Structures are given as structure tokens and as C-alpha cells.
A and B are shown apart, each in its own frame.
Chain A
Amino acid sequence: MILSARDVRKSFPVGDEGALEILKGVSLEVDRPQTVAIMGRSGCGKSTFISLLAGLDAPTSGTIRILDKELAGLSSRELNTFRAKHVGIIFQQFHLLDHLNALENVRLPLDLNRVVDSDARAVAMLQKVGLGHRLEHFPETMSRGEQQRVAIARVLVMKPEVLLADEPTGSLDIKTGREVIDLIFQLTESEKLALVMATHDVKVAERCERVLYMDEGVLSDRRPATFQ
């Protein structure tokens, strides 16, 4: 099993005693490299679920296993190492380090994990995402589409088995968004990755092998009535 989430709940404290339940027993299984879209309106809990799958936060209850490793059983340090090697995350906001150029940003995870030949691998990955000519450029001098490409290259350079994407085109215009999505699908296929992507774009979702719907903290493969 590549990824499994069972009865995952997540609530946040509100006020002194109350709690707001964002996820109400969500389950998901991905047993082979495939593409999964999670659709839903803003605030329905998609991003929270993605962050739990990535181990960025811990569920209130339920279990999450990636490559048969239960995330809750890992220490903070082990989780960091595990995530770096096996899970790639693409954020809506890219999270590039603005003081590093494109090459340095992509090389960063390789250096952090003491991967040899980091320079060559980072250059190759940037060429793969079509930015071989902008290696020395800093984020602020790039378009948003290019920045997201750098972010994707930075994720994929570690050769993860699982790719999680949270609204990867949310801050891009339609044309650039389409190019970025094309790139993600192309790389997912060529690298044989499992992709779980939160999106509210129907066209993007339709390109995935599975489409799931998140509504009021519940995940289902049936489209809810309220869903437009």
C-alpha cells in the first residue's frame, strides 16, 4: 500500500472549551501509482487533509500510513527524514527561499540529505521542468509559473514515491496553471508516482484517475448534491 488514511479526524480548539471539527473520519487508500484528485469548496478541509497526509500536522484521531509506515509512530526527526525521501509536497504558495537562486533552491533538499552529485541532479531536474536557462535566477526575477516549476523540480529531485499537491495552480493564471498541471501529470507518469492533489478546478480533477469529493469534512467518491 502506497498511502492509507483510516478514519482521520482533525479538530481545532475554538474559544476556551469548544472545538471545530474540520475532518470527520476521512479514509483513503492508494495502492498503486495513480493520480487522485480531492475536490471541494474552500474551507471544506482538503488542505488540512493534505497536510496530515504529508505529516505536517498530526490528526486528532485515526491513522495515516505511507509506504506501510505509520506516521504517528515516527519521531519528529524520523518523520522529517522519511518525508524528505518519500513524500513530495507542492504548495500553492511555492515556498521558495528567496535568497537562493533556482539551482540552489532545487539543490537544497539534496544537500540537506547529503545526496552526492547534487549539482548535476538539480540541473537535470530544472532542465526537465524547462528552466535549464534560468539556473542562476532568483525567485523575485521569475514569473509565478516559473517559480512553481522550480518548486516542482525541488520536490521531484528527491525522487519521492508519493506526490501531494495542495491547489498547485491556485495562485496562477489559467494558461500558466494549465502548463504547470501538464508538467505535474507528465512527471507523475514518467516518474511513476502516486499523486494526491487538492483542487477546486474540475478540468484538473477530470485528468486524474480517481476523483474524490470533500464536503463538510467528509470524503466521498460521490459528488455531493451541493457541489457546483
Chain B
Amino acid sequence: MMFLRLALRELKKAGSKLVAVFFILVVGFLGPLFSSALKSSVDTYIGLRSRQMLSADIAVSSLRELTPEEDKSLLDLTKATRTTNELEFMTMARGRDVSTLVEVRGVAEGFPLSGEFQFEDKSKTSSAAPLLAAPIAWVFPEALAQLGLAVGDEVAIGQTKFEIAAVVIDGPGTSRGVGFAPKMYIGLPFVKMTGLTQFGSQVYRRKYIELPKGMDVPSTAAKIKETLADPDIFLRTPADSMASLERFFGFYNLYLVSISMIVFALSWVSAFYIIQVFLQERLKNAGVLMTFGASREASGLVSLAEVMIVMIFSLVVAAVIVVGMVALAPLAFGSLFPIGFVLRLGLGDIARMFAITVVSAIAFAMPVSIRLRVSTLQDLLSETAGGVGRMTRRQAILSYAPLVLVFVLLSIWLMRSWQQALQLTGGVFAALLVGWLLARVVFRALFAMRKNTPGFARLVLLQLARSRFGVNLCFVTLVLGTLVLNLVPHLLKSAVAEIEPIQGKEIPALFLFNVPEAVAPQLGSFATERGAEIRFLSPMILARLMKVNGESTRDDGFQRFPVRLSYREKPILSEKITSGEAFKGPFDPTTSSLPEISMEENFADRNGFGIGDRFEFDVQGVPVEGRVTSLRTVKWTDFNPNFFMVFQPGVLDDAPKTFIANVNIAAGEQREQLKSKFQYDLVRDFPDMNVIDISRSLERAMEIVRSILGPVRAAAWIAVAMTFLILLGVIAHNLRLRTREIEIQKLLGADAGLIRRLISAEYFVLSLVASVLGAGFSIAMTLIVSLGILDLPAKIDYGAFAISVVLTVLVTTAIANVSARRVLGLRGTTRRL
């Protein structure tokens, strides 16, 4: 207790000397605490919502009706306590004069088995009974906006009109759709009346099953898969239904944790340095305690208690700030949160960080404890206690190893993957090491430059060239800070570059799919009459890839999902053959043994396919073979009908197929009107056909990208701000340590202005070199990540490069100037000398 009291008194006295370290530690704690809050909030949300999202324990979907035998074995295997059914299909819904693509969900009695509908007016229900009683629809708000309708209006689906009874903002149930069309719920008895579910339509039939209490979901699902071994039957469990959400948050988590841990590492290294200086100064006090009978261990305990108090206090302050941040996050980024998701910092998160903090405190106090152990009492009491007790290399490694361990453990916990955590730790420590080595090289070079440098500049170079720990630390902080500051804009520019060319370019107005073969020939004139033009009308044949080079693809998963094939004579505008040869006209069995296939390059790369590979497909029961004779690049963002695999003509011409095509409408004032009319007439005359409004979809995609970029950019900017805050702490501390030196300079005739200019110039040079190097590294990393890992075109944001360098130099110099003013303004020269 006495040692704790001593520690508290010493800390109280140290006061301003520890403000910097406290500040830096708070900054360091913010990232991991926030990431931790996000991670556990997502875990909690997924745990609570997964069954509710699926609305059952297991959902079985198929494009065909299950046979009575399959149905029976399904019920036998699951011992289902309750079941309900649903039909799902995509179609065009029509308003008064506008139509749009929607995902229709026809639900049966008993739906949902769990979970509930949440309406725009905040009301909720766990029963879809009203949908079964009358032709009404519960519609998602996006569909209403696109159709220009409101509650009480009528919407036409196929041959039936439904009254819009409510606006749903969250509804239970899984879906096979790709998610670009808004959902619309109707009662199952009314689905047939729409006339859209006849033979040949792409309609998913789904059975939702509730298992008896205590029955294991994954093993039951595995048994069903084994028993109903038809690739056309798909199973989903609550865990599967949350997979995409987990992936989405997984991406954010990885990004946030990476940035947080870089800032954390910077703050830890800086705090470690300042605490070591503080504890070294306090070694003499430990010596005094020992002269009066305290053991070495007990004297060391005072140091440990001091570190522990500072770190825990910093953690508490950081936790309070994060509580505020999580409260404000929904205001800034609430649109990205799924309904029902609550971001909060739990006691568990704080408890885990507390444990990490306690271990860190021990790690921070370790070097001084070792020094205390290896020093004689006389050394401790000597005037230069800071230089005593030099550790051996082994002792040094022993004293710093716990810090690395703390970092790895924290990364593993936050990233949920020890591989990623080790990669991050390796990357961060390699960056620190490289930064450190660079600092030595740069400062040596500056020292060499001093000979030919005149007066003032020479003094600046000499100051820098001393290459002390603190200066090196500033340098590393600046390099890593500018790296983070630059990397995000560069990577974002590369990512957005994929979408950017589309903006402002003339893109097709509409994209048609599910065009029946019988309708295809009429489309041209239908379009011309309405001021539109059909382009690239392309056949689409559903097939299953059965064998590659004679080997079954069953294990590769190809047989589970249909592949979409087409045939055309030559590449269209958005395609370019990169290797192999173009088709030699239609297939002629008398001259060639196998039909030719042209394959998209990235698809081939991903799957390890290449020219010469032989493929065997099942095209609706008919085996079709082909050989890859060319690879081609496809510019998908041109929104033309493109395919991974294209046959030469003369092979698939007679296969059952639908068509896809673009609709081009000339630019001009009438374009939107013509588009709207074309879409409406098309859906009215050909209700089986589906249309996507490309410009609206593109706008929506850009909206999503922008909303995702918001928090990504915010996190990067916060990280940069944190880096500058750490820098502020380190510079202030460095200058405080130089108080005596500054006083001597004053005694030797330097006025305060000159000293301030010297310090400012010193940090100007330091920040200029470090920020150029950091920004340079970011360019190299962008090239590696974009070209090597993400396979994106590498786009360098030179504006960000320049801004980051100027900003870093300005902020650092300003911080140095302000800190210098503070030190120069201190009273009592003789006492400090």
C-alpha cells in the first residue's frame, strides 16, 4: 500500500512530464477499443438475428417442386415441428406509367416461422396472414420510389393488380436474388393469378423448417445435403444467412483493425520511449528507497505501479471517449448499419482491454526492472542514473519481447485470425524497423552534408544528426503517418477507377434479360417504333460444367451452379482477344473434332484454365464438348452482354435459350421519357421479360460505393489525426528533455527567436524527408496491392501525395514551434541548469 502511495505521489509530482504519455496512450487505446466495440456488437447482432433473418432453422430452395419422396425424407430427417412455404421470382412490377424490376416473395400460411416484419411506421408483426386474405402487397420503400407509388396505390405484377398495404423496411426470409431488386411480399394464393409461374419460369420454391428444440442445425443440414444429393436443391441455415453480413463487417473490421493497430503501434512505441525516460530518471529514487531498506523488487514495484496507474487511467479516459464515439457513429454512418444493429462498447470489451493494459504495463516496466536488477546501488544513486545498468542483448530482448507479444495477442483477438494478426505484426514491425534504419541513414547523410553548409543550416543539420531515440521516433511516426495518409486515397482511387470511366460516358439505357426466344425477333422493330435501338442481342444457354480435360468437376462445385454460355461469330466492342485465335466461322464437324471456346482471361486465371483445355457441358441433358482456343479480356463496365465462355456458332444454336441485350436510346432531353415509355410498354406487352435500368443501377452502385467510402475515409483521416496527436506528444516531450540544452544556448547568446527558428527548421527538414519517404512508400504499396493483390489498375493520387507532404511538414513544424515557445517560456533558468 505504501508503494502505491509513493507511486501516486511521484506521478502527482511528475504532472506535466507525463501529460504527453497519457495523451499518447489515450490516442493509442481509441482504435482497438472502437474496433473491439464494432466486433462484439456485430457478434451480438449476428447471434441474436441469424435465426430471425432466415425466419427458420433451415430453408430448402429449388427451381423445381420437390418430389413427394424428397418431401417425406426432408420431414423425416428434420422431425420438423412447423413448416411453411414460399415462392420467389424476379419480375417487372408496373405502376401507373413506370415499371421496375422487383423480387416477389409469395408467402404461405405460417410465414415467418420466426422473426418479424418491420414497417416504415415503426409497427411490427410476426404474421403474414393479411397477405393471404386479399391481393395486397407489402413493399420495400425503394420499389415505391422507383414506381412513384404510395400506400393505397395499386401495383401490377404480371396479370394481377395488388394494393400496396404497407411499406416494409425489414422482412424475414432468405433469397436467391443478387439483391439489386427491392422485395415485395404477396400471399402465395395470389402468385398463381399473376401468370408468371408457369412451366419454364425461373421461380424458386422454398420450404422453411423449424427443428425440434435442441436439434443440431449444422449436422441436420449436412444430413439433408447428403440425402437430397441434387445440385438443384439449395440449403440455408441461420449461419449462412448472415454470411454476407459477416463478410461485409469482416472487410471493415480488417481495415479498421489494421489502421487502429498501426496507430496503436506508434502510440505504444512513443509511450514506451517516454515512460522509459521517466522511469530512468526515477531509478535514483529507487536507489534511495533501497538505502533505507526497501528490496529491489519492492523498489521496482513502485515503477510498475506508476506505469499501471498511468495506463489504466488512459484506458478509462479512452473508454469514455469511445462510448461517445459509438453513440455518435449511427448519426454519421447509420445508413450502413443493418436494422436492429446496435453499436456499443460492452464491459467485456473494456475488460479485455484492461487485461491487455495490465500485461502491457508489466512489459513497459520490464526494462527498468531489469536495469534495477543489474545495477549496483551506487550506480543508481549516481548523478547519471539514466546511463546505468546496461543490459546484455539477451536481457534487452527479454525486456522488449512482452511488448511484441501484447501486440500479437491484441491483433489476434481483434482480427480473429492468427495468420492475419501475424502478417499485420510482421508488417508493422518491419515498417518500424525500416523506418528506424532509414532514420539512421538519413541522419548520417545529413551529418555528412554539414561541412559545406553555412551557419544556421549547419546548426540545424547538427541537431538532427545526433540521431537520438526521440528524433528517430519522430521520423518513424512521420513516415508511417504519411504512409497511412497516402495509402487510402491511392487505393480508393484505384478501386474507384474501375467505376469512374462509366460516369459521364454514354452507357446503354436499359439491359434486357429473360427475353424468350419467340420474342427476340420482334424486339428490333418494337424498339425502333419507340425511338430505341436493341444492341448485342445475345443468346444465353444455361448449362452445367461436368468435366474439364476428362476430370469430373463435382469437387470444384461447378456442378452445383449453372454456367451461362453463349455463342457469337466474333468479339463485340467490349471484348479483346489477348491470346489464341478468333473463331474460324461456324463449327464444321467435318473439319474440326471439337468446337472452339473463347474464355474470359480472369475467369481462366481464377480457375486455372487455359488454351487447349477440353470442357464437357450438360446442356439440359445433352452433352456438349468444346476446347478453349482463345482468351479474351472483357470490359464488364461497358454493360454489354458479356460471358465467361463463348462458343463458336453452330454448336448451341438449337439449345433451349433466352436472350439478353442492351437498349440504346440517343442522348437528349427526351431520353428519360423514352426510356420510361419503352420500359413500361415492354413489361405490358412481354410480362415475362425483365429490364434493368442501367443508369439507375449505376447510380445506386455509386451510392453504395460512396457510403462505404465515407467511413473508410473517415477512419483514415482519424488515423492521420491520431498520428499527428502522437507526434505532438513526442515532439513536446523531446523538447522538454532539451530544456537544459536550450538554456545553455541562451546563456551562450542565442535569443529565443533564434532557438525557435532552429527547432522549427530542424523539424521542417525532418518532416519533409520523412513525409516524402512515407508518401513514396505508399505509392510502392499501392502498386503492390493494386496490381499484385487486388488486380486493379494502379492509380496514384498525386494530389494526395502533394497535400500529405505539405500538410505533414506544416503541422509538424507548427507543433515544433508551439512546443519550443512553451519550453522557452518556462521560468527559472538556473534551476534547470
Do A and B bind? yes
B376 near A104: Cβ-Cβ < 8 Å: no
Asked whether, in the complex, the Cβ of A97 is within 8 Å of the Cβ of B288, the reply is: yes
Which residues from chain A contact B14 at a C-beta distance below 8 Å? 99
Question: Roughly how many angstroms separate A3 CA and B378 CA in the complex, as a whole number?
Answer: 20
| A84 and B292 alpha carbons, distance in the complex (Å) | 4
CB-CB contacts of B267-306 with A at 8 A, as 1s and 0s?
0000000000000000011011111111110000000000
Report yes or no: A76 in contact with B381, Cβ–Cβ below 8 A: no
Inter-chain CA distance A100–B11, complex, in Å, is: 11
CA of A57 to CA of B375, assembled, Å: 10
Q: In the complex, are the beta carbons of A85 and B293 less than 8 A apart?
A: yes
Contacts of A113 in B (CB 8 A): 292-293
Assess A83 versus B291: contact at CB under 8 Å? Given A56-B381, A98-B13, A104-B9. Answer: yes
| A108–B292 CA distance with the chains assembled, in angstroms | 8
**Minimum Cβ distance to chain A for residue B531 (Å):** 87
How far, in whole Å, are A100 and B6 apart by their CA atoms in the complex? 8
Q: Which of A41-68 contact B (CB under 8 A)?
A: 51, 54-58
By a CB distance below 8 angstroms, the chain A residues around B2 are: 111-112
Q: What does the 1/0 interface line of A99-113 toward B look like (CB < 8 Å)?
A: 110001000110111
Q: Once the chains bind, are B12 and A80 in contact (CB under 8 Å)? A: no
Task: Tell me which residues across on chain A come within 8 A of B377, comparing CB atoms.
Answer: 55-57
Residues in B whose Cβ lies below 8 Å from that of A104: 9
CA distance A77 to B373 in the complex (A): 12
User: In whole angstroms, what is the CA distance A109 to B290 when docked?
Assistant: 9
Q: Is B383 an interface residue (CB 8 A)?
A: yes
- Asked if A213 is at the interface of the complex by the 8 Å CB criterion, the answer is no
On whether A112 and B378 interact (CB within 8 A), knowing A77-B295, A99-B9, A99-B12, the answer reads no
- A70-86 Cβ-contact flags toward B at 8 Å (1 or 0): 00000011001101110
Whether a CB of chain A sits under 8 angstroms from the CB of B10 is yes
B376 touches which one: A57, A93, A98 (CB < 8 A)? A57
Are the CB atoms of B294 and A51 closer together than 8 Å?
A: no
Which residues from chain A contact B292 at a C-beta distance below 8 Å?
84, 108-109, 112-113, 154, 158
| Contact across chains for B289 and A95 when beta carbons are under 8 A apart | no
- The chain B residue sitting closest to A54, CB to CB, is B291
Q: Number of contact residues on B: which range applies?
A: 20 to 34
Most chain A beta-carbon contacts within 10 A, residue among B288, B291, B381 = B291
| Residue pair A56, B293 in contact (C-beta under 8 Å) | no
Q: Which residue of A lies closest to B379 (CB)?
A: A57
Complex interface: chain A residues within 8 A of B289 (CB): 108, 112
Chain B residues contacting A211 (CB-CB under 8 Å) are: none
The answer to whether B285 and A84 have CB atoms under 8 Å apart is no
Given the contacts A56-B377, A95-B288, A112-B2, A80 and B13 also touching, CB distance less than 8 Å:
no
- A55 (CB) vs chain B CBs: closest residue: B377
Instruction: Tell me if A83 and B10 are in contact (CB < 8 A).
Output: no
Residue of A nearest to B13 (CB): A99
Contacts of A100 in B (CB 8 A): 6, 9
Q: Which of A58, A83, A89, A99 is close to B293, meaning CB atoms less than 8 Å apart?
A: A83
Is there contact, CB below 8 Å, between A109 and B293?
A: yes
Interface residue ranges of A130-183 to B (CB < 8 Å)? 140, 154, 158
Q: Which residue of B lies closest to A83 (CB)?
A: B291
Closest to A101 in B: B9
CB-CB under 8 A from A98, the residues of chain B are 13
Complex Cα spacing A152 to B624, Å: 104
Tell me the minimal C-beta distance from B1 to chain A in angstroms.
10
Inter-chain contacts of B294 with A (CB < 8 A): 80, 112
A81 touches B10 (CB 8 A): no
In contact, B284 and A95 (Cβ under 8 angstroms): yes
In whole Å, how far is B338's beta carbon from the nearest beta carbon of chain A? 53
Please tell me if the beta carbons of B12 and A51 are within 8 angstroms of each other in the complex: no
Q: Which residue of B lies closest to A140 (CB)?
A: B831
| Residues of A contacting B293 in the complex (Cβ-Cβ under 8 angstroms) | 80-81, 83-85, 109, 112-113
Instruction: Please encode chain B, from 658 to 672, with 1 for each CB lying within 8 Å of some chain A CB and 0 for all others.
Output: 000000000000000
Q: Of the candidates A77, A99, A109, A111, which one forms a contact with B10 in the assembled complex, judged by CB atoms under 8 Å apart? A: A99
User: A54 to chain B: which residues have CB within 8 Å?
Assistant: 291
> How far, in whole Å, are A81 and B383 apart by their CA atoms in the complex?
24
- B321-361 contact mask (Cβ, 8 Å, vs A): 1 or 0: 00000000000000000000000000000000000000000
Interchain nearest-CB distance for A44 vs B (Å): 17
Q: How far is it, in angstroms, between the C-alpha of A126 and the C-alpha of B12 when the chains are bound?
A: 24
Complex Cα–Cα for A115 and B381 (A): 24
A interface footprint on B710-751 (CB within 8 Å = 1, 0 otherwise): 000000000000000000000000000000000000000000
How near does chain A come to B491, taking the closest CB pair, in angstroms? 49
Chain B residues, CB < 8 A from A109? 292-293
CB-based nearest B residue for A100: B9
Closest beta carbon of chain A to B665's beta carbon, Å: 81
List the B residue with the shortest CB-CB distance to A95.
B288
Contact A84 B296 (CB under 8 A): no
- Taking a contact as CB atoms under 8 Å apart, the answer to whether B291 and A84 are in contact is yes
A166–B101 alpha-carbon span in the complex (Å): 94
Instruction: State the CA gap A104–B376 with chains docked (Å).
Output: 26
Across the two chains, which residue of chain A brings its CB closest to B10?
A: A99
How far, in Å, is A115 (CB) from chain B's closest CB?
10
Shortest Cβ gap from B603 to chain A (Å): 68
A156–chain B nearest beta-carbon distance, Å? 12
Q: What residues of chain B lie closer than 8 Å to A93, measured between beta carbons?
A: 383
Chain B min CB distance to A52 (Å): 9
In the complex, what distance in Å separates the CA atom of A197 from the CA atom of B123?
90
Closest chain A residue to B831, Cβ basis: A140
Give, as a whole number of angstroms, the nearest-CB distance from A15 to chain B: 15
Which chain A residues lie closer than 8 Å to B831 at the CB level? 140
Give 7 new A-B contacts, CB below 8 A, not counting A95-B381, A112-B289. Answer: A56-B291, A56-B378, A81-B293, A89-B291, A95-B288, A112-B293, A154-B292
Which A residues form the contact surface with B (CB < 8 A)? 51, 54-58, 76-77, 80-81, 83-85, 89, 91, 93, 95, 97-100, 104, 108-109, 111-113, 140, 154, 158
Show 18 residue pairs from A and B whose CB-CB distance is below 8 angstroms, ordered by the A residue.
A56-B378, A58-B376, A76-B296, A80-B290, A80-B294, A80-B295, A81-B293, A83-B291, A84-B291, A93-B383, A95-B381, A97-B288, A99-B14, A112-B292, A112-B294, A113-B292, A113-B293, A154-B292
The 9 nearest A-B residue pairs measured at CB: A84-B293, A99-B13, A109-B292, A56-B378, A57-B378, A56-B377, A99-B10, A51-B378, A99-B9
